[in-house]
A and B are shown apart, each in its own frame.
Chain A
Amino acid sequence: EPEVTQTPSHQVTQMGQEVILRCVPISNHLYFYWYRQILGQKVEFLVSFYNNEISEKSEIFDDQFSVERPDGSNFTLKIRSTKLEDSAMYFCASRSSGFQETQYFGPGTRLLVL
């Protein structure tokens, strides 16, 4: 069964460093998402991406964040200068077209900023 994959599973970085989180969505999906979950809290929407551009973003997704689909398979989230409060689990999700289509989540990348 197709699945969303994410790398790395864990990342530890120093405050101020850049990190790139990688995702490979399900191959025939058209809509891509990033969410984050701070430990013990609910899952929060960051950004949606469709047709090679950002379609919607939340207040969390400020200028420090960017997304890219550099080729036909990868979908990346970059944090330019990490802060302590960026420590969270980051989930990538994807879905095909159609309103009823389910978003399938990757296993997440646990980011720890020291």
Chain B
Amino acid sequence: AQKITQTQPGMFVQEKEAVTLDCTYDTSDPSYGLFWYKQPSSGEMIFLIYQGSYDQQNATEGRYSLNFQKARKSANLVISASQLGDSAMYFCAMREGGTTDSWGKLQFGAGTQVVVTP
């Protein structure tokens, strides 16, 4: 079974608008972390935002916010005021295991390609 599901293969959004990228996850571990990474066409993986399973509040980082709905096992990324430079592939990833000895591998979804248009 897929651990991370991103159902939107691609999205178009107009500049200055907000966009929501969906991510659902599957785990029975009570301790986990959810990450979003951005991959522009140049190929590097850029960390955007992190949400821990025990965090009471939704994470925010500048124009990025995470809509964390634990009961639904979803962790959607919201990008506000889209810019042309936001055009990229966006990956949701999960790390399971809550101890400091957890090796911490990330499991990735298939990604969502976002194209921001003028």
Contact = CB atoms under 8 A, between A and B. Distances in A.
A95 B105 CA distance: 11
A100 B91 CA distance: 18
Interface residues of A, number: 29
Interface SS of chain B: loop
Interface stretch (B17-25, B39-47, B71-79): B39-47
Given A99-B98, A99-B104, A100-B52, A107 B110 contact: no
Contacts of B97: 99
B111 A102 contact: no
B111 A103 contact: no
A97 B43 contact: no
A104 B93 CA distance: 13
Interface in A10-68: 31, 33, 35, 41-45, 48, 50, 55-56, 58
Interface of A: 31, 33, 35, 41-45, 48, 50, 55-56, 58, 89, 91, 93, 95, 97-100, 102-108, 110
15 contacts: A31-B104, A33-B104, A33-B105, A42-B91, A42-B110, A43-B106, A44-B108, A45-B105, A48-B105, A99-B31, A99-B95, A99-B99, A99-B104, A100-B52, A103-B35
